Structure 1
Amino acid sequence: MNLPQKFEDKMKELLKEEYPSYQKSFEEERLYGLRVNTKRISVEEFLKICPFSLEPIPWIENGFYYDGKKEFPAKHPFYHCGLYYLQEPSAMTPANRLPIDEGDCVLDLCAAPGGKATELGAKLNGSGILVTNDISNSRAKGLLKNIEIFGIENVLVLNEEPGRLVEKFPGYFDKILVDAPCSGEGMFRKDSKMVKAWEEHGPEYFSEIQKVIMRDAYEMLKPGGMILYSTCTFDLSENEEIISGLLEEYGDLELESISPGYEGFESGLDKEGKTIRIFPHKMKGEGHFLALLHKKGLKTEMNNRQKEKGIKFADEFLEFIQMLNISLPLEQIVNRKDKLYLLPAEIPDLKGLRFLRSGLFLGECKKKRFEPSQAFAMTLKEEDFKNTLNLSVSDERVMRYLRGETIEVKEKRKKGYCLILVEGFPLGWGKYSDHKIKNKYLPGWRATYA
């Protein structure tokens, strides 16, 4: 790979005698990673049913390497069940190292395509609230799909400038992840197109954006809260200098050590040596930078809860939920143009914000019937619904279902909606009648390769 001379000179200065080893790393194959969705299945149980040859990622307890030339996890039914996310190994680190407690209010400020947001949501395990945001509408749509596949229900998916969020979320979040837009130097080996992008918009361009984003993040962080800042670049102006600038500007911010550590992590160039650098010649992963910041002070309670008015539910919806073996908190359900959403327990007023999703989309009431959503199906377990079809992963009907085809069943079932599962994990809805199940799998998710 032909690297820009300006970049090479900078890296020689940064790495000194290690530069030849870094240069040699470009001869190595790119790495592929798979991260288990621990909200849906434990690592131990996943390994019992996993059809792939995996090697553990030493610093990610639910992360594994796989051979991307021989194996294709994105084409397996377990991918459509949301049992795992495919992610570059180093990119798993930021969400892994941000300490999340159940019940936290968490923000992923630059969230698309969702690799980090899905891990944050899995850590919350249905509690608290996960607010995800991306400035790009098209990327935010991909983010929403990944969150729904993972079965994360307590979520807001926003499409806003970070500064617009400060008005609605001042001092709101316990934890914030800022995986900042950057010059991408750490990804040159993985994607050579990043070199051309770097020549068009280098570190100077991105460092100004990063400063603004981090100021916004600070305003939205509670006292006692934490921000994890990360990039996939090496430049000091996008990394340590961003952190040192924040520490100088805000006297109540302090750097925290990132733990548990890993022997391959390199200490950053900050005064305290608490930031982390990941280099591809020292670890089996691409280049990354991480810093964990703590906002001093006592943790405060939220005071900007939105009060929703109670609504009258259509008979069709009430009839449908009789098929559930779980209770829905009806007081948290809102009706927006005949679409029903289950909101997180505590949510601010979102009026004026662009959002793709507020809470869990349950389904739509239309023409005197209720149609449950794909997102709702993905949050359920086999025991949560009275009418189910659980298929073996080797059953040819699984791929037929993922293609959107009608499938046949021998055993008689209750007429109406049926939850389709594979090995006990949800895929989506079908509608049973006369030994046939009409396919209700979301058209936009259908597997064209199957």
Structure 2
Amino acid sequence: MQLPQLFLDKMKELLREEYEAFEASYDNEKAQGLRVNPLKISAEQLLRIAPFELIGVPWVPEGFYYGKEDRPGKHPYHEAGLFYIQEPSAMAVGALVDPQPGETVLDLCAAPGGKTTHLAGRMNGEGLLIANEPHPARAKILSQNIERLGIRNAVVTNEMPDKLADRFSAFFDRILVDAPCSGEGMFRKDPDACAEWSPEHVTMCASRQLDILESAARMLKPGGRLVYSTCTFSPEENEGTISRFVALHPEFVIEDAQAYEGFDQGRADWTSDAASGIGETLRLWPHRIRGEGHYAAVLRKTDGEEEPARRKYAKGLSDRKALKDYFAFAEETLVAKPSGEFTLFGDQLYILPAGMLSLDQLKIVRPGWHLGTLKKNRFEPSHALALSLKANEARNSLSLTADSPQTLAYLKGEALKVDGPKGWHLVDVDGFSLGWGKLADGTLKNHFPKGLRWTGG
């Protein structure tokens, strides 16, 4: 790998006696990892059924390394949302946020969704999770990953941070700012980040990061936790950004971030006017651990205005007659009927997460749990509904095994020859929901989304 010479010169000055080990790490194989989705399966269960070797990531109980020859992303269990492919160092960030069930949580720079889905798993379906991504195409990918993992309590927004701050003042218990950065820690994994690097880009990123933190500060409740992370080594974007932020916001204090073997401390000597507690922040280095480069800081808001007493909350549909086709579907197809505040986005039916503020004048990609489409005189269930259900929550199901030819045929979008009652069937692989099919006259019409279908042999 050809690394920028200015980058190497900078790292040599910073790391001194560790530089040779750091440079040599770029000749090593990159670490590959996946994180278990506890909304669907436990780590112990996955270890029993996974057809590839998994070795635990020391800093995250739900995280595992897999071998370079394995392809878990090409396995039916991936389509069923049993795990998320995630770089092992990045898993440390969600663990530092450590959201609790029932809390209000914001992932402010969320795409493609690795950290969002980690937070959702820790929340266990309880509370409100808002995942925001300013870039429209990336917000769509974020939404798709939330769907695949069967997450019910998330809203996906497509806004700039300052626009969200105007709506959600002092609203969240925990906020993650996984900030856009120069990507130095991902050079081994992402050659594009290496090609885009320059000292000017580092400076620009540091300025933008401070602006994002300003918006996050407005949205956090007094007493709330703010976790800041990057995938870069640059002191300007790490210790420098945090020190500048704390200097502007004395109501924030840096807290001790839990470290594991191989983790390094933030470096006060790498930035001017280092904030008190900067040594409690974390650096993850590729020559010290089995993972890429990361930085993380945990801050707490010790003072500030309380949550406003009067807010405008999102409202559900008052006219249940408009949903008669959905209720007929639910009665005929589902054992457990979804409940909550129903809302329509065009002809798309969702259930709003409890406690969500008004959606008015916000760019919303996913306003909650997507149930399906209201069509003329009928309701068609969504892929999101299928993936959020357990196999025993549908009245009719088609149970397949991971190595069955029928499973491959289903994932390729083919119709299946099946005996059973007419109507909607939930297709599952080894007991984990995979999608919908509609049975008539011995043929199951395939409703696995066209954009997700497998190609090839």
Partner residue, 2:194: 195
Letter in 1 for 2:395: K
Partner residue, 1:284: 290
1:217-256 to 2 correspondences below 5 Å? 217-256=216-255
Letter in 2 for 1:106: V
Letter in 1 for 2:187: F
Indicate the SS of the match to 1:236: coil
Counterpart-to-counterpart distance in 1, 2:360 and 2:240: 36
Letter in 2 for 1:92: M
Partner residue, 2:151: 152
Counterpart-to-counterpart distance in 2, 1:301 and 1:13: 49
Partner residue, 2:32: 32
Counterpart-to-counterpart distance in 1, 2:208 and 2:346: 37
Counterpart-to-counterpart distance in 1, 2:200 and 2:80: 38
Counterpart-to-counterpart distance in 2, 1:333 and 1:21: 56
Number of equivalences: 445
Is 1:349 aligned to 2:358, yes or no? yes
Partner residue, 1:406: 415
Is 1:18 aligned to 2:28, yes or no? no
- Cα–Cα, structure 1 residues 103 and 196, in superposed 2: closer, same or farther, change >3 Å? same
Letter in 2 for 1:236: P
From 427, 430, 438, the counterpart of 1:420: 427
Partner residue, 1:445: 452
- Cα–Cα, structure 1 residues 355 and 302, in superposed 2: closer, same or farther, change >3 Å? farther
1:90-120 deviation per Cα after TM superposition (whole angstroms, max 9, x unaligned): 1111112212110111111111111111111
* TM-score normalised by the chain length of structure 2: 0.94
Q: Is the 8 A contact 2:397 2:425 kept in 1?
A: yes
Counterpart-to-counterpart distance in 1, 2:372 and 2:353: 16
Counterpart-to-counterpart distance in 1, 2:181 and 2:249: 23
1:56-115 deviation per Cα after TM superposition (whole angstroms, max 9, x unaligned): 1111211111123x1111111000000011111111111122121101111111111111
Counterpart-to-counterpart distance in 1, 2:246 and 2:296: 15
Partner residue, 1:308: 316
Q: Is the 8 A contact 1:229 1:290 kept in 2?
A: yes
Partner residue, 1:131: 130
Runs (4 or more) in structure 1 with deviation over 6 Å come to none
Q: Which stretch shows the higher mean deviation, 74-83 or 160-169? A: 160-169
Partner residue, 1:333: 342
From 247, 261, 264, the counterpart of 2:262: 264
Indicate the SS of the match to 2:197: helix
Letter in 2 for 1:426: S
Letter in 1 for 2:448: Y
* TM-score normalised by the chain length of structure 1: 0.95
Counterpart-to-counterpart distance in 2, 1:102 and 1:226: 15
Partner residue, 2:271: none
Indicate the SS of the match to 2:334: coil
- Cα–Cα, structure 1 residues 2 and 317, in superposed 2: closer, same or farther, change >3 Å? closer
What do you get for the CA RMSD once the two structures are aligned? 1.6
Counterpart-to-counterpart distance in 2, 1:301 and 1:380: 36
Superposition deviation, residue 327 in structure 1: 3.2
Letter in 2 for 1:364: T
1:377-420 deviation per Cα after TM superposition (whole angstroms, max 9, x unaligned): 110001211111111112111111111110112x42x2111111
Partner residue, 1:318: 327
Counterpart-to-counterpart distance in 2, 1:92 and 1:8: 26
1:128-150 deviation per Cα after TM superposition (whole angstroms, max 9, x unaligned): 11111111111111111111000
From 337, 343, 363, the counterpart of 2:372: 363
Counterpart-to-counterpart distance in 2, 1:328 and 1:197: 47
1:105-124 to 2 correspondences below 5 Å? 105-124=104-123
* Percent identity for Structure 1 against Structure 2: 43
Gaps of 5+ in 2: 269-275
- Cα–Cα, structure 1 residues 249 and 343, in superposed 2: closer, same or farther, change >3 Å? same
